[in-house]
Structures are given as C-alpha cells and as structure tokens.
C-alpha cells in the first residue's frame, strides 16, 4: 500500500467512524490506537504496525458487533482472551451504557490496557487476570453474562468450552472467525450442543464494505444450562476437545 493511498484510506476510515460514533468516541479510538502502537515498540501487543491497517483490522473489525440487535440488547459483555484489547475496548468506547469485562491470561497485557484506558477515560471496563477455566466455575461470572465475544485464535470447540459456561440462558456467545467458520462450526457442533448452545446464524459484516480484512461473526445462543463439569481443568479442552 502506497503512503498516499494509506493516508487517504486512514482519513476515510476516521471519517466513517466520526459520522457513526461522533468525534469524541472517534478521538478515543484513535488515541487508544496511537498509544498501543507506541507501547508495542517495547511490549508485543499486536503484529500490526501501521495506523491504517490498525484502524481496519482492530478497530473497524472489532466494532462489527454493533450492527446486531443480539449484541445491542446486552448489558454485561465479556471479551475472552482480549490480547491488546480487541474487540473489548472499541466496543466499550462506543457503548458507554454497557459494562465490559476484559479477560486475559497475561497480566502484562492487561496492565497496559488498564493504563491506556485510564489515560483516555474509558471507564466502563473491568480487567480480569484469570484463566477461562477458573472463571467458568466462579459463581460471580458463571451464567451471568449477556454476551461473550472473542477474537482469540483458539478453535471454536475449545473457545466454546471457555466461553459458553459464562453466558446466561438466552444470551449469546459471538466469536469472530475467519473464512473457515463453517468448518469450525462442523467440528465444534458436539461441543456447542453439549455446553448448552446452538448456532443461530453466521454474519459477514465486511462483505459489502470491500474490506481488506474482516472476521465473520458466529451467533451462538445459549438455550440450556452448561453441565457443571464444564469447563474442565486448564489444558484439557485443548488436549481433548468435546466431540
């Protein structure tokens, strides 16, 4: 991508964010991006190094959930395996009426997110350093969450065991997945049903926007309570996924 095209694309993306979310929210999103890219020189938070790519791959992509009523109805949202704060931070900035819990197993990342969020004034987040397997058995969180989102790289059968125990009946687990979404759903079918969920639909938000990148969103509704034995102890979901 040439610098000129990169600049014009960046301006276009910022203009679109402005028109949809207002200048205050867009300013927070841009400041978050700039601080994460600065800190990324010393602590690896993202493979993305350039602002235009960051806007598209991390911010616009993260915001895709905002287009759907299933997400809009939620009051409490968990972002499992938040990494550099995605999709949790962009969603928190644009949904100040919701509470977001950002979960990661690496405390160093959470400290950075917390520091930057405080600088910018993002107040509707809670950061939790905890394994998903432990969180799923904690009565404070188990089946208390309206929506759980995740852009984590784990396969859907594993992610479902980490996330569905947190979701209340009638709520949704919405993973962001790539082009292999249908294959992952087929492999995870037994796990999703065992854990109390059912795939309602797959959405492709970037389809009509000519986006260079973009995830597909899988909407998994929680119909039944998750059996008490799930999630299993740390490491077991990866070694022996539910089949």
DSSP string, 149-203: EE--SS-HHHHHHHHGGGEEEEEEEEEEE-TTHHHHHHHHHHHHHHTTEEEEEEE
104 alpha-carbon distance from chain centroid:
11
Q: What is the pLDDT of residue 214?
A: 76
76 phi/psi in degrees, rounded to 5: -120, 125
Q: Give the tens place of pLDDT for each residue, 204-240.
A: 987 655 555 579 999 999 999 999 999 999 999 999 9
Structure tokens belonging to residue 222? 């929680």
Task: Write down the pTM of the prediction.
Answer: 0.94
End-to-end CA distance of the chain: 43
- Cα 24 from Cα 29, distance rounded (Å): 9
- Cα 103 from Cα 131, distance rounded (Å): 8
Q: Does residue 213 contact residue 206 with C-beta atoms inside 8 Å? A: yes
User: Which regions in the chain score pLDDT beneath 70?
Assistant: 1-7, 207-213
Helix (H) / strand (E) element for 129: namely strand 125-129
Q: Is 125 helix (H, G, I), strand (E, B) or coil?
A: strand
Pairing state between β 167-177 and 145-150: parallel
Length of the chain: 243
Q: What is the pLDDT of residue 8?
A: 83
Q: What is the pLDDT of residue 211?
A: 53
- Cα 83 from Cα 135, distance rounded (Å): 17
């Amino acid at each position: 991508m040439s610098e000129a095209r990169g600049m014009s694309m960046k301006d276009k993306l910022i203009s679109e964010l402005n028109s949809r979310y207002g200048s205050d929210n867009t300013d927070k999103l841009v400041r978050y991006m700039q601080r994460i890219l600065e800190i990324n020189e010393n602590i690896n938070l993202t493979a993305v190094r350039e602002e235009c790519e960051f806007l598209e791959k991390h911010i616009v992509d993260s915001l895709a959930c905002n287009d759907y009523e299933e997400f809009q109805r939620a009051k409490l949202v968990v972002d499992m395996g938040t990494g550099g704060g995605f999709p949790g931070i962009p969603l928190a900035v644009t949904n100040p009426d919701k509470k977001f819990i950002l979960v990661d197993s690496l405390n160093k990342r959470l400290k950075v997110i917390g520091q930057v969020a405080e600088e910018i004034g993002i107040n509707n987040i809670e950061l939790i350093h905890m394994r998903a397997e432990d969180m799923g058995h904690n009565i404070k969180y188990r089946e208390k969450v309206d929506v759980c989102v995740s852009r984590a790289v784990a396969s859907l059968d594993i992610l479902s065991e980490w996330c569905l125990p947190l979701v209340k009946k009638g709520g949704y687990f919405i993973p962001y997945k790539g082009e292999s979404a249908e294959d992952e759903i087929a492999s995870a079918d037994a796990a999703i049903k065992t854990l109390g969920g059912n795939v309602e639909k797959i959405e492709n938000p970037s389809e009509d926007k000519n986006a260079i990148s973009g995830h597909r969103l899988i909407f998994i509704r929680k119909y039944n309570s998750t059996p008490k034995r799930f999630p299993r102890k740390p490491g077991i979901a990866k070694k022996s996924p539910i089949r």
